């Protein structure tokens, strides 16, 4: 695949942060009362968790991803960000998997909101990749535009400080380059790092994306970058783009999906799909939820909660006495057609950022890029069959 043309902004990167001064960045964030959240190793994966020390980062580790496969392995260097995206995304902090919306402490009392905007956590995200930044902007469209603003998301989002990281390698399931969301971060961050691990000395090239980023950087030891260092950083991102072997052709996708609602290939995918919902839960852009009302054992305290749900769950499509999507075929079709087709009608673009999580974490290795290609092939075969046998439409 042709490497992405790099945004000219990378030429503006002129600040070098030495690896031995990296802790100063975390210290400056913590001094500002940010809860720093970043990548760390847990239960055999790179996950996002609270950090106070750079020693908690997955230095020297990388991952191996295939369809339905994820494992960690050692790197030959001590790169802090030398891994692909893991099972979690930042949405778990801005749009929590389970949250209490309001609580009523006793019958007759007015319900109280469980999280007031002023109480929202003040997160600093460390290590946000380009596809993940794009996913956050897609969720911004869902929660912050239109007639209904989500106050919980809004309060958390307004406070967040973002330290992005350009990708230096592409995972086997990444296809961000083909959907235009990576691997270079271009906007939406306060600071952006490019980690250069080449000899003689590893360093971060830093780009400033906001006034808050500039102010924070002033508290961290740094120096202007040389032309050679800027060129080395450029090569890091170019390498990631050129390594990407998967792609998704998006040009006519919406119309293709709309005209292939009855394509028999949907039944073939459904024969493999377990309807487990993993793909939707790991997806950084999926946003379906279900409400729950619970009370304590005395019946005095009541809570109204919201939890992530999925279009793969039978109950999610339960309406007036039955599910409107009773078959796996209809649920898989709904997911893919929304993600890549009707999302465009809702928000003007596709709802996929090419992170590859749904491919890695699908227990049976269903790969949406492969399925779209197979659907196109099935449609072409049907069309060819219809043309050679004009009576094939007759039933």
What is the maximum alpha-carbon separation in the chain?
76
Is 142 a binder of ligand SF4 (CB under 6 A)? Answer: no
Give, in order, the Cα–Cα distances in Å from 60 to each of 81, 117, 285. Answer: 9, 39, 29
308 beta partners: 289
C-beta of 205 vs 244, nearer to ligand SF4: 244
Stretch that binds ligand SF4, among 21-29, 107-115, 160-168, 349-357 (CB under 6 A): 349-357
CA pair distance 239, 198, nearest whole angstrom: 13
Q: How far is the CB of 345 from ligand SF4 (least distance, A)?
A: 17
CA pair distance 176, 182, nearest whole angstrom: 5
Identify the residue whose tokens are 């019946």. 299
Is 357 a binder of ligand SF4 (CB under 6 A)? Answer: yes
Is 341 a binder of ligand SF4 (CB under 6 A)? Answer: no
**Burial classification of residue 228, based on how many CB atoms lie within 10 Å of its CB (0-12 exposed, 13-18 middle, 19 or more buried):** exposed
Stretch that binds ligand SF4, among 58-66, 200-208, 209-217, 348-356 (CB under 6 A): 348-356
Using CB under 6 A, which of 16, 177, 244, 358 touches ligand SF4?
A: 358
Is 284 a binder of ligand SF4 (CB under 6 A)? Answer: yes
Q: H-type helices in the chain, by residue range?
A: 22-31, 91-94, 130-144, 151-159, 176-179, 211-217, 227-243, 253-258, 265-272, 278-282, 328-337, 343-347, 357-360, 368-388
125 beta partners: 37, 162
Is 276 a binder of ligand SF4 (CB under 6 A)? Answer: yes
Is 354 a binder of ligand SF4 (CB under 6 A)? Answer: yes
C-beta of 68 vs 113, nearer to ligand SF4: 68
Is 257 a binder of ligand SF4 (CB under 6 A)? Answer: no
Site string for ligand SF4, 35-74 (x = CB under 6 A): ----------------------------------------
Is 355 a binder of ligand SF4 (CB under 6 A)? Answer: yes
Is 278 a binder of ligand SF4 (CB under 6 A)? Answer: yes
Q: How many residues bind ligand SF4 (CB under 6 A)?
A: 24
38 beta partners: 49
C-beta of 79 vs 352, nearer to ligand SF4: 352
Give, in order, the Cα–Cα distances in Å from 292 to each of 280, 304, 309, 325. Answer: 20, 6, 11, 21
Is the separation of the CB atoms in 53 and 11 below 8 Å?
Answer: no
Q: How far is the CB of 309 from ligand SF4 (least distance, A)?
A: 13
Stretch that binds ligand SF4, among 184-192, 232-240, 299-307, 358-366 (CB under 6 A): 358-366
C-beta of 25 vs 355, nearer to ligand SF4: 355
Is 274 a binder of ligand SF4 (CB under 6 A)? Answer: yes
Is the separation of the CB atoms in 13 and 205 below 8 Å?
Answer: yes
Is 130 a binder of ligand SF4 (CB under 6 A)? Answer: no
Identify residues 162-201 at the interface with ligand SF4 (CB under 6 A).
none
Is the separation of the CB atoms in 128 and 139 below 8 Å?
Answer: no
Cis ω for the linkage preceding 116 (within 30 of 0): no
Is the separation of the CB atoms in 335 and 343 below 8 Å?
Answer: no
Give contact residues for ligand SF4 (rule: CB under 6 A): 273-279, 282-285, 312, 339, 352-358, 362-364, 366
């Amino acid at each position: 695949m042709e490497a992405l043309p790099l945004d000219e902004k990378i030429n503006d990167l002129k600040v070098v942060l030495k690896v031995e001064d990296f802790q100063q960045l975390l210290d400056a964030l913590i001094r500002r009362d940010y809860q720093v959240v970043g990548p760390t190793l847990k239960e055999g994966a790179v996950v996002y968790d609270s950090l106070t020390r750079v020693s908690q980062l997955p230095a020297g580790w990388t991952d191996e991803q295939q369809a339905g496969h994820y494992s960690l392995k050692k790197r030959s260097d001590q790169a802090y960000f030398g891994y692909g995206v893991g099972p979690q995304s930042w949405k778990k902090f801005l749009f929590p998997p389970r949250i209490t919306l309001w609580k009523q402490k006793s019958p007759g009392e007015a319900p109280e909101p469980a999280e007031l905007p002023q109480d929202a956590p003040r997160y600093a995200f460390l290590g946000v990749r380009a596809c993940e930044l794009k996913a956050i902007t897609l969720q911004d469209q869902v929660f912050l535009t239109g007639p209904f603003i989500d106050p919980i998301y809004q309060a958390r989002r307004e406070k967040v400080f973002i330290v992005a990281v350009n990708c230096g390698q592409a995972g086997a399931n990444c296809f961000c380059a083909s959907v235009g969301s990576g691997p270079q971060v271009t906007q939406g961050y306060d600071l952006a790092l490019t980690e250069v691990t080449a000899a003689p000395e590893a360093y971060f090239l830093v780009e400033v994306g906001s006034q808050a980023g500039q102010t924070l950087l002033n508290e961290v030891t740094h120096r202007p970058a040389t032309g050679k260092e800027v060129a080395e950083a450029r090569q890091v991102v170019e390498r990631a783009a050129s390594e990407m072997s998967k792609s998704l052709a998006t040009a006519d996708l919406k119309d293709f999906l709309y005209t292939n609602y009855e394509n028999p290939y949907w039944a073939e995918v459904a024969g493999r799909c377990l309807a487990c919902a993993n793909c939707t839960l790991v997806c950084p852009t999926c946003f379906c939820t279900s409400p729950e009302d619970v009370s304590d054992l005395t019946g005095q305290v009541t809570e109204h909660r919201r939890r992530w749900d999925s279009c793969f769950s039978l109950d999610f499509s339960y309406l007036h006495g039955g599910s409107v999507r009773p078959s796996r075929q209809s649920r898989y079709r709904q997911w893919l057609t929304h993600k890549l087709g009707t999302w465009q009608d809702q928000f003007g673009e596709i709802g996929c950022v090419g992170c590859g999580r749904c491919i890695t974490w699908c227990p049976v290795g269903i790969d949406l890029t492969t399925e779209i290609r197979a659907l196109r092939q099935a449609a072409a075969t049907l069309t060819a069959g219809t043309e050679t046998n004009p009576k094939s439409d007759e039933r």
